[in-house]
Each structure stands twice: as structure tokens, then as C-alpha cells.
Amino acid sequence: MEAYIVGGYRSAIGKAPRGKFRFTRPDDIAVAVVRHLMNDFPQIEKSRIDDIVVGNAFPEAESGLNMGRMISIMSMDSIEVPGSTINRYCASGLESIAIATAKIRAGMADMIIAGGAETMSMIAMGGWRSIPNPTVAKTHPDWWHGMGLTAEAVVREYDITREEQDAFSLKSHEKALKAQAEGKFDSQIVPIEVTEDYFADGKQQTRKYTVDKDEGPRKSNIEGLARLKGVFKQGGSVTAGNSSQMSDGAAFVLVVSEKIVKEYNLTPIARLVDYQVAGVEPYKMGVGPIAAIPKVLKHAGMTIKDIEQFELNEAFASQSLAVLKELNMNPDIVNVNGGAIAMGHPLGATGAKLTVQLLNEMKLRKQKYGMVTMCIGTGQGGAGIFELL
């Protein structure tokens, strides 16, 4: 039994911690996206949804208490649809799509809403109470290196220059700004109205505004980027300008079986051909795709030349450049509308967000095969191949 993606949307991506979603809970962002997605299918009884699988990198505080279940209750207006929260850090949103696909192919479900949601405004990077295993930490402290230090490790081991990183960053912003100006993202973004309370003139005020545009892309220049100092290591070359932005957002797709396609006369958009994860040294987690991409291609019986477009999450310019160089990838088909350095990286939502972006762009370009891939904290890589139908 095959599983098909029949629809997908994302929120705009807000800048954390001072962007337009800074006071908006991740479950509220997710609910808006899920409701908009289901509005495309009024003929489907919501009680028929077998599960909602939500990826999240830090499932605590506002993202805690099984956020996936809360999103199901809030968005479905029913207690009948269950929900779960899963965590593979930066690949969580893609992992949720893989779980949905696998369960449907196995005959365990017919309809699953899969995606992810993240707030980096409300929850600190690393969470509020991170407690590494003390025994392991004594022998392998590098397993808990901060992301910035892992990016510096990649700089050192793969001979990535500061100039290369800044040039890559500038290109990401330029592509994203061009895509925004052309309206590339308009149809995939769900406008979300935000109500914000604040104090002014000695009293509480309320304002409302609609968030329907990614906040990250900005005009820059190579001179400005070159003036930024390394922020993770003394004398380092990884800066705020060539790193991905902390972000808030959500993205979801509806995955269904062949039976549901026929029953409701739905039009399949795409299918997940294959998905694989791989492990690498945690201290240089950014090179995860170098292991994951060949693995998924081999498992699917394909080669890298079969992939017409890639969405590679730009956790840092250094790791993106290492992946491109090591796998000899064509940069012209990677992140054609900009990446996370410009667009932002809402952690657990990113895999689903990139899937939505990829499928929309593949349709415009009349392509058949595309890939979403990313590095993952603590030394992993993930890669998923999609076929546009």
C-alpha cells in the first residue's frame, strides 16, 4: 500500500526571540496551520484522521505535555483524533512525515497529519534544564558541544574559510529576497493573526497584526558580514551572520493511503520515496548529510544525479559548504530560494517546512525527484527523497 502527500502548508517563520511570534505559543501556530490544511478537504470527516504526529526539538514548557495531543484536540475540535510528539532534533519534522508514511504503507493507518512546531522565543536553546549524563560527560564532553562549536570543528576539519562562509550567507539572503519578491512562498504560507498585549502610557494596550511573511531575509553586503566577530570561539569564523537564525514556526502535510485517495477522489501531490538517518561524530554534527545522503540514495536504488533539487538545512554556512564539497553537489540546485541562514530554522518544524517548500518549487520547475536533508544535533544526519506526482 502506498502513502501519498495530498496537501501541505507552513506558517511564516518568525525571528526569535524578538519577532512577530515572540508571544505566540507553538501549539497555537500549529493549530492555525492544521486547520487551514484541513479546510482544503471539507469532504473528509475529521474523525477519520488516525493520528497527528508533531516534531519538536525541545518538548517542554510551552511545547510540553505532549503538544501533539493538544494540537489534535485544539485543531480538530474533537477528542477522537489522537496526537503524539516526536523528537529527532532538527529532523523531527521530516521524521514525522516518515513515520506517517511507514505506518500507512504497513496498513496501520489511512490518514495522518504530520509536521512540526517550534518556539525558540519561549524556550531557550538547549531547553530550560538540560542535564547531561554525568558519567558519559566525563569521558565524552564533546558529545554536548554547543552547535556553534560543532560548526567551528567543521571549519577546522574541512578547511572552510571565513570568506567562503560569508559569501554563502550573502547568497542565501539574496535568493530568499528574490523568492519573496516573486511571491514564491505566498501560496504555501498560512496567514496567522496575532493579538499582543503591551504597556504604553502607563496602561495596558492591545494590538493585532497578521503574520504572513518570513521575517529573516534581509539586505546585506559582504563588507557588513565581514565585520562581524566570531561568537562561539575566540578567533573563530562562525558568526551570527553566517549561522542559521533562531526561529518560531510550524508546518504540516496530510499523508493518506491509496484507499483514501480513491474514496475521496483526492489528487496526490507527492510521495516520500525513502528516508534514512545516519550517525556521525557529535562534535562535528554538521556533516550528518554527508553520511545520510549516500545512505538514502543507496537504499532507494538511486544516484545523486537523479535528484533535481535539494533543500539542505543551512544550520551554518560552514557545514553546508562541507556537505556541498564532500558530495560534489551542484550548488545551483541546492536551496534555490535561500536557506535557513536567511529564512530561519524552527528546529522541529524545519523538516516539514522544507518539504512544503521543496514540493511547491518542484511543481513550478516540473521536476520529478527532490531531497530534504539536514544535520542533526548530537551527531546525526537525515535525508528524505520525494517524488512529485
Total domain count, the chain: 1
Look at residue 304 and tell me if it is in a domain: yes
Tens-place pLDDT, residues 189-246: 999 999 988 788 888 888 899 999 999 999 999 999 999 999 898 889 999 999 999 9
pLDDT band at 277 (very low <50, low <70, confident <90, very high): very high
Alpha-carbon distance of 9 to 35, in angstroms, equals: 10
Mean pLDDT, the chain, rounded, equals 96
Tens-place pLDDT, residues 343-360: 999 999 999 999 999 999
pLDDT band at 114 (very low <50, low <70, confident <90, very high): very high
Look at residue 345 and tell me if it is in a domain: yes
Question: Which residues, at least 6 apart from 273, have a Cβ–Cβ distance to it below 8 Å?
Answer: 300, 302, 369, 384, 385, 386, 387
Question: Which residues, at least 6 apart from 34, have a Cβ–Cβ distance to it below 8 Å?
Answer: 52, 71, 75, 76, 113, 115, 252
Look at residue 8 and tell me if it is in a domain: no
Tens-place pLDDT, residues 1-46: 899 999 999 999 999 999 999 999 999 999 999 999 999 999 999 9
Q: pLDDT at residue 143 above 90?
A: no
Look at residue 87 and tell me if it is in a domain: no
Amino acid (one-letter) located at 219: K
Q: Which residue out of 36, 90, 145, 173 is catalytically annotated?
A: 90
pLDDT at 285: 95
Look at residue 150 and tell me if it is in a domain: yes
Look at residue 332 and tell me if it is in a domain: yes
Question: Which residues, at least 6 apart from 366, have a Cβ–Cβ distance to it below 8 Å?
Answer: none
Q: Which residue out of 36, 145, 173, 375 is catalytically annotated?
A: 375
Q: Is 299 a catalytic residue?
A: no
Q: Is 173 a catalytic residue?
A: no
Residue 149: give its domain's CATH number: 3.40.47.10
Q: Taking the chain, what is the end-to-end CA distance rounded to the nearest angstrom?
A: 16
Look at residue 338 and tell me if it is in a domain: yes
Alpha-carbon distance of 41 to 375, in angstroms, equals: 34
pLDDT at 196: 85
Q: Which residue out of 36, 145, 173, 345 is catalytically annotated?
A: 345
Look at residue 297 and tell me if it is in a domain: yes
Question: Residue 374's domain spans which residues?
Answer: 140-184+272-388
pLDDT at 337: 98
Q: Is 90 a catalytic residue?
A: yes
